Amino acid sequence: MRSGDVVLGVDFGTSNTAASLVFADGRTRSVLFDGSPLLPSAVCVDGSTLLVGRDAIQAATFHPAGAEFHPKQRIDDGTVLLSGTEYPVADLIVAVLRRVVDEATRSAGTPPTRMVLGCPAAWGAHRRETLLAAATTVMASCELVAEPVAAAASFVTVAPLAVGSCALVYDLGAGTFDASVVRRTADGFSVLAEEGIVNAGGLDLDATIVAHLGATYGSRDPDAWQRLTSPATDADRRASRQLWDAVRNAKETLSRRTATKIEVPLLEDDAPLGREQLDSLARPLLDRTVAASRAALATARIPAADLAGVYLVGGASRYPLVATLLHQAFGVTPTTVEQPELAVAEGAAGPGASDGTPPTRVLPAGAAPRGRRFSRRAAVLAAGVATITIAGAVALALRPDNPDNPADPRSLVGSTTPSTTTPSASATPTPTPSPKAYNPLIDQCLIGAWQATLWEGPATIGGVDVTVNLVGTKLMRHYDGKGTVWEDLRDGVVRQGKKGGRTYQQVFNGFTVWGYRSQGDPAFPQTGTSRGRAFFQNARTKGRIVTKVDGSVRNNVAFAATTSPEEYFCTTTVLTVQDDDGSRREYKRVSPTPAPRPKL
């Protein structure tokens, strides 16, 4: 750093944005926004002005239709509808970053010479380019750095990490979760692997608490609860905002206390909530983050015993159950800091935030760390058949030695070598039925009945690209030990998403059967984890997919399934399947044996 330089590190978060200054003489300073180191990322339209932060939240009280509280989550949407007018998402990001630079200039007494923004390691080129373009609108000299690299650079100032040692960066923010394995290098850090979950953060825990309240108050006064959860007027939107704020405050209080109360607007009641209740509500979500952390370690081929540290990043990571579960899983006491939500901003501005791609830029397109976010894309084809793309783009070579038997290994030839890894030594297996002799073409970990808990990813509905998520838990997948897998959608599986103020839905009814072969880890019965690639053939389907926009049917067609291979990570309780299009499915094991296969 040259004399007189001032570097501004920024963490543009889902709910809050943080910033830190580093001066040429080594001094550091957090940027304060109205006396707080956290600036709400919210934006609200006021006439022709885009208000930011607490000003936006205040304005949203009176004009809720003009507010976007989480612009980072809209980065794929292109535009956002505010008070009836479409605004480019980039404009919302620019507004937030301009406020950051203004406050940083006021704090430093001079404009920063360079801005370094944290960026999720798994973000693709489009998202990174959108963020960087917005940043350069505000400041000419801008760079991106992988968020886990920035976080690790911050943590080593309080917990030194030797060159060559590895750490797990556990980043639980408001809207997303990322588990990254980083290695300390002579000049910074390298990201070995990253696993991300889009809808697993503080906001999702808030939604779980709201659903818990709905189980009691929804039946007590259905009309009032409907107004809170699906507000149609400004008054109802204000009440809904008050409910969500009260839930968030209660959650944060339970990080320090054992009991609290939540004020429920419109119903004029206070709902009690205790630490044990919240632990029970949070456990499924946090178990998913631990499973993703295991997957990142397996991808990086780093046994848990070799971890030199576990770093807790993001405001939601301070919840006590997080550290407990991670210590149980990996045998390492997590390293905490007083304000984990500031770690990325502080590390981004510091000299140690290097990922080996000068000048401190995020990994270029095509060079991302191993590991992805996942689900599956369903698109309606012009021919009238809806194709469910089950996996990635690796070619599958089939030869028809025995086309009548999908389980015949002679009819399946995979053109790639499945990846196998050394699983975490900390995994604790539970009994799972398996063949008497190990079959190298069937991964024993997969055998059983699995219930989907997540299916998120892109879809095209009514000619509009939208991100959709699974509603409910009706989707089931079954693997047998003879080479057949089937998915049961007969109860009406729904995926739903919103864009531009409209609701998009896919409704599946039917089932699909494939022949499959997989190569995982033959040591699964001893270790309890397996990672590999599954290959499919002879897909047979029966059913239809209905697409809707705002409840109006746009298409009703038969669907067919592709036979693209898929990568997976499996434990005795959780199965994660991921795709190259950025989609992800997660399942929980509900039985060690599959249900009877439906007849076509």
Q: What's the CA gap between 449 and 465, in Å, rounded? A: 32
Q: What's the CA gap between 159 and 547, in Å, rounded? A: 52
- Looking at the domain assignment, is residue 525 inside a domain? yes
Cis peptide before 522 (omega within 30 of 0): no
- Looking at the domain assignment, is residue 373 inside a domain? no
Tokens of 547: 């697409």
- Residues 200 and 192 sit within 8 Å (Cβ to Cβ): no
Tokens of 38: 């956290």
- Residues 456 and 199 sit within 8 Å (Cβ to Cβ): yes
Q: Which residue has the tokens 């998202």?
A: 127
Q: What's the CA gap between 246 and 264, in Å, rounded? A: 8
Q: Which long-range contacts (CB under 8 A, 24 or more apart) does 274-281 make?
A: 275/320, 277/212, 278/209, 278/251, 278/254, 279/321, 281/205, 281/208, 281/209, 281/212
- Residues 511 and 541 sit within 8 Å (Cβ to Cβ): yes
Domain containing residue 421: 378-591
CB 404: neighbour CB atoms within 10 A?
8
Coil vs helix vs strand at 565 = coil
Kindly state the DSSP code that residue 71 receives in the 8-state scheme: G
Alpha-carbon torsion angle 175, 176, 182, 184, nearest 10: -10
- Residues 570 and 529 sit within 8 Å (Cβ to Cβ): yes
CB 230: neighbour CB atoms within 10 A?
9
Coil vs helix vs strand at 404 = coil
Q: What's the CA gap between 46 and 178, in Å, rounded? A: 34
The residues with which 457 forms a beta bridge, in sequence order, are 468
Coil vs helix vs strand at 45 = strand
Total of domains in the chain: 1
HEC string for 148-180: HHHHHHHHCCCCCCCCCCEEEEEEECCCCEEEE
* pLDDT tens sequence for the chain (600 residues): 566 789 999 999 988 999 999 998 888 999 999 999 999 999 999 988 999 999 999 998 888 889 999 999 888 888 899 988 999 999 999 999 999 999 999 999 999 999 999 988 778 888 899 999 999 999 999 999 989 999 999 998 888 899 999 999 999 988 788 899 999 998 888 889 888 886 778 888 998 999 999 988 888 899 999 899 888 888 888 898 899 999 999 999 998 899 999 999 999 889 999 999 999 999 999 999 999 999 999 989 999 999 999 999 998 998 899 999 999 999 999 998 888 999 999 999 887 554 444 333 333 333 345 554 433 323 332 223 333 333 332 222 222 333 333 333 323 333 333 333 333 333 333 333 333 344 557 888 899 999 999 888 888 887 888 888 898 888 999 999 888 999 998 888 999 998 888 899 999 999 899 888 886 666 666 667 788 878 888 888 888 898 998 888 888 888 767 777 788 888 888 898 876 566 788 999 999 889 888 876
